[in-house]
Amino acid sequence: MSYTAMDIVFLFAHSLSGILGIFGNSALLFAIKFRSPSAWKSFSILLSNSAIIDLVACVSSVMSMERQAILIVAAFKEVTATIYLGPCSLVSDFACHVHCKEHKVQLLTN
């Protein structure tokens, strides 16, 4: 599979933001677990729940990168196609499709 220059820029930016999110949420979970005062017990439960959801969303985002492309099929007829670029494309297109839908549901529940 050959990538265009914009695909490479997209992959780099998307991977960088996902990896930063993974490290940031992991550090937040570590700080909640080992550095939070006992008086913040109820707040730390809520904050750790949010951090876990964000961590799963970041991992899912890195694994399933998708790009929308507009294809012109016939005169005045446009079709939107989804192009999968992430590591899940090594498995199958169906795995990417399921993973992307799961990622969108996780973002909506946060």
pLDDT at position 24 is 96
State the total domains in the chain: 1
**Mean pLDDT score, 28-47:** 90
pLDDT band at 23 (very low <50, low <70, confident <90, very high): very high
Q: How far apart are CA 39 and CA 7, in angstroms?
A: 48
- As to burial, measured by CB atoms within 10 angstroms (0-12 exposed, 13-18 middle, 19+ buried), residue 75 is exposed
**Domain range for residue 24?**
5-109
pLDDT band at 32 (very low <50, low <70, confident <90, very high): very high
Condensed to tens digits (0 to 9), the pLDDT of residues 69-100 reads 777 777 777 787 777 777 777 777 777 777 66
Q: What is the mean pLDDT of the chain?
A: 81
pTM: 0.72
